[in-house]
Amino acid sequence: MKYYPRNYNVFDEMFDDFFPKEAIYTSNVMRTDVYEKDGYYNLDIELPGYNKEDVTMEIMDGYLNVKANHNVSNEEKDAKGNLIRSERRFGSCSRSFYVGENIKAEDVKAKFDNGILNIVMPSKEQKSIETKQTVNIE
């Protein structure tokens, strides 16, 4: 007789090879490179398919929160105005980075270029009183 642990599920095992975990858990993930240069932290976040207008950032309770949302709708009509094709694409993703309780929004600089969001912030904490601050993206 074969022993199975109490939490063993035959159906989970059947689908392990069919649906690899990498395919399930990596969709809409903001891949990020973090490095320090000249006393500043730099974050390069990949956001393919998003525009600058789709991205928002805020600092709240010591966390830098980056969110990206987009809704794209494409419709094609023939000469008579009949709908030939309609496609919609919706997507969103978010990520939070702990930056410390004392980082100010005005000290954080962000630039969006070709699907890459580059964020630069000082590596030393500075005093701040506000708990929620919006960061502008250039």
Structural domain harbouring 95: 31-135
Residues 37-41, mean pLDDT to the nearest whole number: 88
- Which contiguous run of DSSP H or E holds residue 117? strand 116-122
Number of domains in the chain: 1
Residue 101 sits in a domain whose CATH number is: 2.60.40.790
Whether the predicted pLDDT of 117 surpasses 80: yes
Whether 118 maps to a domain, the answer reads yes
pLDDT interval class at 42 (50, 70, 90):
very high
Whether 14 maps to a domain, the answer reads no
46-92 pLDDT, tens digit per residue, is 998 888 999 999 998 889 999 999 887 778 888 888 877 777 777 88
pLDDT interval class at 4 (50, 70, 90):
low
Q: What is the 3-state secondary structure (H, E, C) of 46-108?
A: ECCCCCHHHEEEEEECCEEEEEEEEEEEEEEECCCCCEEEEEEEEEEEEEEEECCCCCCHHHC
Whether 13 maps to a domain, the answer reads no
State the pLDDT at residue 120: 94
- Which contiguous run of DSSP H or E holds residue 109? strand 109-113
Whether 6 maps to a domain, the answer reads no
Query: Average per-residue pLDDT in the chain?
Result: 78
Whether 71 maps to a domain, the answer reads yes
118-132 pLDDT, tens digit per residue, is 999 988 654 444 456
Whether 21 maps to a domain, the answer reads no
